[in-house]
């Protein structure tokens, strides 16, 4: 019997939902992917189409326009995009932004933004990283200075996913530089018709070519007092810390699905490709490599699935989620590199899915906290 990778958390309802997701990806996203890769972004229409189908903010309550589901619904979308190397729509970051609003926003903030985000009318981005600092978040220099009317934001951000298409940017700022982590706040900036706000270059990346990643500039951007997430200054750092398990598990889920996609693609290829009068699959090296990969995926599935279940039950801790991100992204890199090798020269050609997967996988070890930072977080919990 052929090996299949079952998810412990799935259900008939979720598999039906998966069919809807796959149809959307195959009929709408895949045909536009090459154009999006050339352009560097997928455009607003695709986000709106996803929103209309109910594929965005699936784990946000219905009262705010969301799907009323849970993280498993989100995972289905991430998995199906990742196994096809469709990286253009960063629904993970969009969802993370929605969760900041849901967990920490005022009622007015939730009502104002969540329904539009679920509809795909407003794309979400979160801007922490700056040209001068990434891992060391407390070293950010973007300032929000308060006055009688509200705040003036000045600074620059870099590597911001969804930055080019974003309608709402959660900007991590210093509101009181003397207070260390307690002087950090998250300010909500509406990007459209916003004087002083400028989107810089669409950054030219090694992979994830269809995904918009941008520089953002803030030059005396004026926002009201009510633009502080949750309405209270100085809470930004602790707000960022509470949602870490959610963010890191998204990367773990993406990693495992990419491995599954790469494994299946490679299996197909080596069964067809001939060398020395036989299919490449017949070489013991090929069969052993794929046997090792299938084993790693099965073992990984047990761990990632448990993390998904724990997150849904509200008991996934940051150290365990960091393990999912660390193990997932590191293993993804190794597995996809092994798969590419089995394609020979074709594996290096961008028109082959495996080549795109290889390029896309590299950043998984960097964004959302680097592997080194994951080890620090895990080590602190030993």
Ligand X SMILES: Cc1cc2nc3c(=O)[nH]c(=O)nc-3n(C[C@H](O)[C@H](O)[C@H](O)COP(=O)(O)OP(=O)(O)OC[C@H]3O[C@@H](n4cnc5c(N)ncnc54)[C@H](O)[C@@H]3O)c2cc1C
Alpha helices in the chain (DSSP H): 12-24, 30-39, 44-52, 71-83, 91-104, 107-118, 236-242, 244-272, 284-312, 318-342, 353-361, 371-380
In the complex, the smallest distance separating the C-beta of residue 94 from ligand X, rounded to whole angstroms, is 10
Token pair in block for residue 119: 């509809």
Range in contact with ligand X (rule: CB under 6 A) among 140-148, 236-244, 246-254, 366-374: 366-374
Binding pattern for the stretch 166-205 against ligand X, x by CB under 6 A and - elsewhere: ---------------------------------------x
- Minimum CB distance to ligand X, residue 283 (Å): 36
The secondary element (H helix, E strand) that includes residue 224 is strand 213-224
Closest residue to ligand X, Cβ-based?
Answer: 134
CB closer to ligand X, 214 vs 286: 214
329 binds ligand X (CB under 6 A): no
- The number of angstroms, rounded, from the C-alpha of 145 to the middle of its chain's C-alpha atoms is 31
Rounded CA separation 156/135 (Å): 16
- Please give the Cα distance from 212 to 164 (Å, whole number): 6
Work out whether 135 is an interface residue with ligand X (CB under 6 A).
yes
- Residue 81's DSSP bridge partners are none
Among 9, 71, 78, 159, binds ligand X (CB under 6 A): 159
- How many CB atoms lie under 10 A from the CB of residue 223? 21
Selected from 372, 379, 380, 381, the binder of ligand X by CB under 6 A is 372
In the annotation, is 247 catalytic? yes
Structure tokens at 317: 């801790």
* Residue tagged active-site, from 74, 79, 247, 265: 247
The size of the interface with ligand X (CB under 6 A), counted in residues, is: 22
From the list 18-26, 120-128, 290-298, 310-318, the region that binds ligand X by CB under 6 A is 120-128
Nearer to ligand X by Cβ, of 267 and 374: the residue is 374
Of 213, 286, 320, 332, the one binding ligand X (CB under 6 A) is 213
Q: Which residues contact 250 (CB under 8 A, 6 or more apart)?
A: 74, 78, 92, 95, 96, 368
- Interface pick for ligand X out of 76, 93, 122, 258 (rule CB under 6 A): 93
Nearest residue (CB) to ligand X, 109 versus 129: 129
Distance from C-alpha of 267 to C-alpha of 270, rounded to nearest angstrom: 5
Site for ligand X in 256-315 (CB under 6 A): none
Query: Residue 187 in contact with residue 153, Cβ under 8 Å?
Result: yes
364 makes contact with ligand X (CB under 6 A): no
The minimum distance between CB 135 and ligand X, in angstroms, equals 3
User: What region does 344 belong to: left with phi over 0, alpha with psi -120 to 50, or beta?
Assistant: left
Exposed (0-12), middle (13-18) or buried (19+): which is 107, by Cβ within 10 Å?
Answer: exposed
Which one of 153, 169, 250, 363 is in contact with ligand X (CB under 6 A)? 363
Inter-axis angle of helices 91-104 and 107-118, to 10 degrees?
Answer: 160
Residue 323 makes contact with ligand X by CB under 6 A: no
How does DSSP classify residue 175? S
For ligand X, the closer of residues 9 and 164 by Cβ is 164
Torsion region of 49: left, alpha or beta (phi above 0 gives left; psi -120 to 50 gives alpha): alpha
Name the minimum Å distance from CB 10 to ligand X.
Answer: 29
CB of 210 or CB of 293, closer to ligand X: 210
Residue for token pair 């500039």: 217
Q: Tell me if 134 contacts ligand X by CB under 6 A.
A: yes
Output 24 or 367, the one with its CB closest to ligand X. Answer: 367
Nearer to ligand X by Cβ, of 86 and 160: the residue is 160
Q: What is the Cα–Cα distance from 309 to 325, expressed in whole angstroms?
A: 16
Residues near ligand X (CB under 6 A) are 93, 126-129, 133-135, 159-161, 205, 208, 213, 363, 366-367, 369-370, 372-373, 376
Which residues are designated catalytic? 247
């Amino acid at each position: 019997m052929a090996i299949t990778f079952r998810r412990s958390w799935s259900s008939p309802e979720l598999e039906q939902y998966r069919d809807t997701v796959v149809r959307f990806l195959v009929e709408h996203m895949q045909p536009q992917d090459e154009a999006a890769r050339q352009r560097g972004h997928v455009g607003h229409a695709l986000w709106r189409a996803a929103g209309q189908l109910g594929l965005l903010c699936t784990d946000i309550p219905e009262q705010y326009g969301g799907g009323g589901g849970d993280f498993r619904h989100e995972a289905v979308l991430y998995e199906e995009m990742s196994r096809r190397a469709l990286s253009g729509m960063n629904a993970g970051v969009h969802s993370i932004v929605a969760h900041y609003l849901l967990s920490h926003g005022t009622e007015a903030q939730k009502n104002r933004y969540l329904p539009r985000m679920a509809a795909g009318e407003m794309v979400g981005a979160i801007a922490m990283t700056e040209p001068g600092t990434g891992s060391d978040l407390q070293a950010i220099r973007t300032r929000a200075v308060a006055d009688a009317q509200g705040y003036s934001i000045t600074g620059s951000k870099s590597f911001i996913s969804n930055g080019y298409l974003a309608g709402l940017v959660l900007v991590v700022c210093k509101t009181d530089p003397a207070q260390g982590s307690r002087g950090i706040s998250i300010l909500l900036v509406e990007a459209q018709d916003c004087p002083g706000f400028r989107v810089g270059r669409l950054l030219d990346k090694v992979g994830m070519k269809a995904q918009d990643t941008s520089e953002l500039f803030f030059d005396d951007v004026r926002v009201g007092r009510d633009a502080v997430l949750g309405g209270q200054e100085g809470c930004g750092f602790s707000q960022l810390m509470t949602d870490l398990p959610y963010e890191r598990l998204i990367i773990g889920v993406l990693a495992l699905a990419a491995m599954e996609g790469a494994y299946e693609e490679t299996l197909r290829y080596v069964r067809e490709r001939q060398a020395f009068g036989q299919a490449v699959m017949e070489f013991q090296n090929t069969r052993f490599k794929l046997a090792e990969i299938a084993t790693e995926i099965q073992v990984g599935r047990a761990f990632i699935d448990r993390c998904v279940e724990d997150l849904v039950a509200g008991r996934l801790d940051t150290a365990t989620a960091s393990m999912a991100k660390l193990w997932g992204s590191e293993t993804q890199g190794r597995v996809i590199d092994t798969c590419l090798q089995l394609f020979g020269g074709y594996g290096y050609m961008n028109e082959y899915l495996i080549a795109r997967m290889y390029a896309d996988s590299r950043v998984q070890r960097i964004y959302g906290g680097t592997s080194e930072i994951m080890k620090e977080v895990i080590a602190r919990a030993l």
